[in-house]
């Protein structure tokens, strides 16, 4: 679990590899996902059962009792990954066509890591009302909806409306997913440095969907709001920010947090907010150079910094270490401590779908965060290992169990399972998805990627 000792030059070289390989690999496969069968086809006569005329029988039963749709179709294990491409991975408003590779990647992670069937739905509109209506129109085919890469602040409005108006879980991964994994990483990082989550100062850089949701989850977990200092592009949020007050109808979330956070009523810019903080959470403008080394030098001893901008963090992790930060996390898999929502959403949706839950609550997200943290802690956490990696399958199983149990406890599950039943369901579905991929690779139906 220790950190491989590399020179700065080698770390820079490795950081450039994914972007260099990605175009060739994507073109080679012409995308990353496709639909496949889950039923047996032994003879041509089977088509009369799977399709007409036999399929009419389950259709009639569902018409009489809509809940049977979960028994007779794959609805309970199908998620729509919906985006308008208005804020994609730090790339900005690149639109629905350019955003499609990201949503295919999301669907890949859903399937391989969580055993969840997911499909990208790119919407050629950026109007919130049209987006809401489109999702409501397609909802009958899906057991859940994953909203992805919607611009701030409309992302909050879209999520709130759809959660109110649909009876399937609607989740905005840039909000709830990032918040869950960030809380998990924070829990373990604080254990490593020996600090109390409720008695330290937090600096939160960026007031987009990820950080607004993280602060909400953090406060729900019991952290005093006054201990948090938030920063947007114009400086620290505080009650005297007239621009936020004037704009509160358009973005009530920022104005709300300007009122309740920052007990010191601190003012100033990013550097002023970072000074004297114990924890830095940044999800802002991609770097490097967005955050300066000298700013980090003003943090408290044994500082923690999660620098999570995509595709490039606000400051390179080795630069943060050189500035004196003890524990550094990024959103990337090529550095230690990947604080990335890909460790959260596959397991969270797995547990949600297995109990046919009607929504995903903040309490379910917090339960997932603790399951993530506990999975890593059992293996032995340290400065360079505070959360599991995506290849540690047990983390997704543990999340699924914790989330499913919390949904049952909260009375929002349509299906009641025991802890052992939840674990067996998750293990079986995830193992099946990964074995299916391996079988296709071994048989040559999925060829190896092109060599450099």
- 385: β partners: 382
Contact 231, 270 (CB under 8 A): yes
Catalytic residue among 21, 38, 51, 234: 51
Active site residue 29: no
Q: Identify the helix (H) or strand (E) that includes residue 327.
A: strand 327-330
Strands (E), 228-298: 228-232, 235-236, 279-282
Distances, alpha carbon 337 to alpha carbons 15, 293, 333, 340, 434, in Å: 15, 19, 8, 9, 24
Q: Identify the helix (H) or strand (E) that includes residue 330.
A: strand 327-330
CA dist 309 and 288 (Å) reads 10
In terms of Cα–Cα distance, which of 62, 181, 39, 17 is closest to 113? 181
Active site residue 191: no
Catalytic residue among 75, 106, 111, 358: 106
Distances, alpha carbon 62 to alpha carbons 100, 168, 263, 383, in Å: 33, 17, 55, 53
Return the SS3 of 66. Answer: helix
Contact 151, 124 (CB under 8 A): no
CB atoms within 10 A of CB 108: 15
The residues near 299 (Cβ < 8 Å, ≥ 6 apart) are 274, 275, 276, 277, 278, 280, 305, 324, 325
DSSP for 161-213, please give it: HHHHH-SS-EEEIIIIIHHHHHHHHHHHHHHHHT--TTSS-EEEE--SHHHHH
Distances, alpha carbon 128 to alpha carbons 2, 83, 125, in Å: 46, 11, 8
Catalytic residues: 51, 106
């Amino acid at each position: 679990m220790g950190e491989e000792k590399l020179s700065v030059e080698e770390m820079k070289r490795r950081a450039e590899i994914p972007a260099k390989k990605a175009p060739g690999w994507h073109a080679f496969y012409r995308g990353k996902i496709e639909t496949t069968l889950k039923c047996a086809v032994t003879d041509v006569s089977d088509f009369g059962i799977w399709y007409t005329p036999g399929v009419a029988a389950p259709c009639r039963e569902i018409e009489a009792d809509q809940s049977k749709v979960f028994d007779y179709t794959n609805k309970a294990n199908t998620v729509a990954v919906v985006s308008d491409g208005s804020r994609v991975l730090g790339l900005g408003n690149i639109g629905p066509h350019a955003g499609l590779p990201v949503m295919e990647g999301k669907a890949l992670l859903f399937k391989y890591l969580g055993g969840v069937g997911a499909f990208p739905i790119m919407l050629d509109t950026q109007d919130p009302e049209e987006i809401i209506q489109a999702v409501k129109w397609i909802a009958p085919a899906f057991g859940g909806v994953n909203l992805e890469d919607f611009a701030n602040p409309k992302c909050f409005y879209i999520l709130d409306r759809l959660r109110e108006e649909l009876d399937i879980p609607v989740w905005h991964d840039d909000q709830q997913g990032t918040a869950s994994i960030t809380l998990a990483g924070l829990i373990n990082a604080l254990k490593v440095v020996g600090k109390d989550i409720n008695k330290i100062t937090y600096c939160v850089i960026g007031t987009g969907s990820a950080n607004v949701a993280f602060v909400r989850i953090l406060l729900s977990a019991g952290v005093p709001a006054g201990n948090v200092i938030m920063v947007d592009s114009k400086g620290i949020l505080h009650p005297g920010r007239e621009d936020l007050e004037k704009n509160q109808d358009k973005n009530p979330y920022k104005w709300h947090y300007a009122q309740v956070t920052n007990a010191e009523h601190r003012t100033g810019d990013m550097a002023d907010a970072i000074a004297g903080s114990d924890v830095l959470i940044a999800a802002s403008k991609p770097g490097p150079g967005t955050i300066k080394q000298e700013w980090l030098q003003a943090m408290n001893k044994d500082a923690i910094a999660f620098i999570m901008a995509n595709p490039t963090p606000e400051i390179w992790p080795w630069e943060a270490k050189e500035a004196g930060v003890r524990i550094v996390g990024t959103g990337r898999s090529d550095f230690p401590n990947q604080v990335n929502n890909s460790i959260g959403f596959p397991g969270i949706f797995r547990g949600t779908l297995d109990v046919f839950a009607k929504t995903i609550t903040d309490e379910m997200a917090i339960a997932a965060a603790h399951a993530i943290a506990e999975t890593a802690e059992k293996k032995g956490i340290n400065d360079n290992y505070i959360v599991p990696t995506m290849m540690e399958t047990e983390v997704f199983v543990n999340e699924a169990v914790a989330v499913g149990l919390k949904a049952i406890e909260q009375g929002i599950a349509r299906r009641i399972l025991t802890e052992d039943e939840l674990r067996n369901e998750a293990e079986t579905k995830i193992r099946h998805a990964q074995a299916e991929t391996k079988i296709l690779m071994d048989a040559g139906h999925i060829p190896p990627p092109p060599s450099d």
